[in-house]
């Protein structure tokens, strides 16, 4: 019994010494650090570029008054100016919050109608005629510089200022009398080009851009801009009155200052980390104030100077929807859900 206890004690002591030695040896050995976690490189810049199809309709109207602006002489209204355009767009964002964005497009205005009204006492009785609009076109360009004043994982809200240019050409064919006088009696066939309206607006934009990240793939973007100042440079050409006695030598220039609004919303879906599809809509309106534009008859009359400049009110409106495809470079790392 005593021998057994003795051997058991010796064995326990030997095991304890061996265990302590192993621990001491481990303390003396260098420790290998765990591998560092991979941190993907995040670019300070994010660039998105894309293309859109923009389908729209529009309205353009000017009201012509006498030289004093006291009495309305005539009104020309283009309505239902259906258009199709191709458009490119892009946006460059920096991690500091600064961004640059813009878009530009060109398209054809295939259909529409012109109503030409003349009022007493200049034309007695009141007259209204209709013409068909076709073969028109339009182009536009916008560029903005902004800064995101508020940004988190769900929202980005920024303010911006920029420039907008819009050009439109409308061509009217034929003439049918619909009320009053006999200006277009008998009717002029649709094969005859009767009036051309060319309009250019150059405008300053000030607005707010907001992005709402609904999910890691779905984003809604709202762009709302006020136009505090716009410059109008337009030309009206009554083709059947050029070169005839008492007619015109060419286009009659229209100039003035105006203001307006531009609103756009886009819902986009990220198919991959870089490629997105989207659908959106927009509304544009630019106008001069009442009597704040001028029709320069003195520059185009026969003889030149036979008519004084007259007061004018002018407005342009376009609205519609679009679909888009875009590709993104740089920015945040890939999310696991892609």
Per-residue pLDDT of the chain (338 residues; tens, 9 = 90+): 444 433 333 343 343 334 334 443 444 444 455 555 544 556 799 999 999 999 999 999 999 999 999 999 999 999 999 999 999 999 999 999 999 999 999 999 999 999 999 999 999 999 999 999 999 999 999 999 999 999 898 999 999 999 999 999 999 999 999 999 889 999 999 999 999 999 999 999 999 999 999 999 999 999 999 999 999 999 999 999 998 888 899 999 999 999 999 999 999 999 999 999 999 999 999 999 988 999 999 999 998 888 899 999 999 999 999 999 999 998 655 444 44
Buried b (16+ CB within 10 A) or exposed e, 160-180: bebebebbbbbbbbbbbbeeb
The pair of structure tokens assigned to 36 is 């560092």
Give one word for 187, left, alpha or beta, with left for phi > 0 and alpha for psi -120 to 50: beta
Domain of residue 95 covers: 46-330
Asked if residue 22 belongs to a domain, the reply is no
Residue corresponding to tokens 């199709």: 84
Residue 16 lies in a domain: no
Residue 48 near residue 326, CB atoms below 8 Å: yes
Q: What is the dihedral of CA 80, 108, 203, 79, to 10 degrees?
A: -10
Going by their DSSP bridges, the two strands 98-118 and 136-151 should be labelled as antiparallel
- Is 201 domain-assigned? yes
Residue 134 lies in a domain: yes
Check: CB of residue 123 under 8 Å from CB of residue 181: yes
Cβ atoms of residues 211 and 224 within 8 Å: no
- CATH at residue 149: 2.40.128.90
Examine residue 38 and state whether it is found in any structural domain, yes or no.
no
For residue 199, is it within any domain? yes
pTM recorded for the entire structure: 0.85
Tokens of 250: 């060419």
User: Residues for the chain: how many in total?
Assistant: 338
Flag whether 19 is in a domain: no
Between CA 242 and CA 195 the distance in angstroms is 11
Count of domains observed in the chain: 1
Distances (CA, A) of 50 to 99, 144, 186: 16, 16, 51
- Determine, yes or no, domain membership for 72: yes
């Amino acid at each position: 019994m005593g021998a057994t206890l003795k051997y058991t004690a010796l064995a326990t002591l030997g095991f304890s010494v061996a265990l302590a030695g192993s621990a001491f040896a481990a303390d003396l050995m260098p420790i290998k650090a765990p591998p560092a976690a991979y941190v993907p490189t995040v670019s300070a810049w994010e660039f998105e570029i894309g293309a859109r199809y923009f389908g729209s309709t529009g309205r353009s109207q000017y009201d012509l008054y006498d030289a004093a602006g006291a009495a309305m002489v005539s009104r020309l209204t283009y309505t239902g100016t259906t258009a199709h355009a191709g458009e490119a767009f892009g946006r460059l964002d920096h991690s500091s919050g600064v961004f640059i964005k813009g878009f530009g497009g060109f398209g054809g205005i295939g259909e529409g109608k012109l109503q030409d009204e003349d009022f007493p006492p200049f034309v007695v009785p009141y007259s209204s005629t209709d013409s068909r609009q076709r073969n028109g076109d339009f182009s536009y360009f916008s560029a903005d510089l902004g800064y995101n004043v508020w940004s988190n994982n769900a929202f980005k809200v920024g303010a911006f200022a920029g420039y907008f240019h819009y050009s439109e050409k409308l061509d009217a064919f034929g003439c049918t009398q619909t009320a009053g006088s006999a200006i277009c009696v008998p009717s002029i066939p649709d094969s005859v080009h009767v009036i051309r309206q060319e309009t250019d607006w150059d405008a300053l934009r000030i607005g707010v851009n907001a992005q709402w990240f609904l999910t890691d793939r779905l984003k809604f973007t709202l762009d709302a801009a006020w136009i505090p100042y716009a410059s109008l440079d337009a030309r009206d050409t009554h083709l059947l009155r050029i070169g005839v006695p008492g007619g015109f030598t060419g286009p009659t220039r229209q100039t003035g200052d105006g203001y307006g609004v531009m609103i756009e919303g886009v819902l986009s879906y990220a198919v991959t980390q870089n490629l997105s599809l989207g659908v959106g809509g927009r509304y544009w309106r630019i106008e001069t104030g009442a009597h704040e534009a001028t029709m320069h008859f003195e520059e185009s009359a026969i003889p030149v100077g036979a008519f004084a400049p007259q007061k004018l009110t002018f407005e342009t409106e376009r609205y519609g929807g679009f679909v888009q495809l875009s590709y993104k470079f740089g920015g945040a790392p890939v999310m696991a859900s892609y």
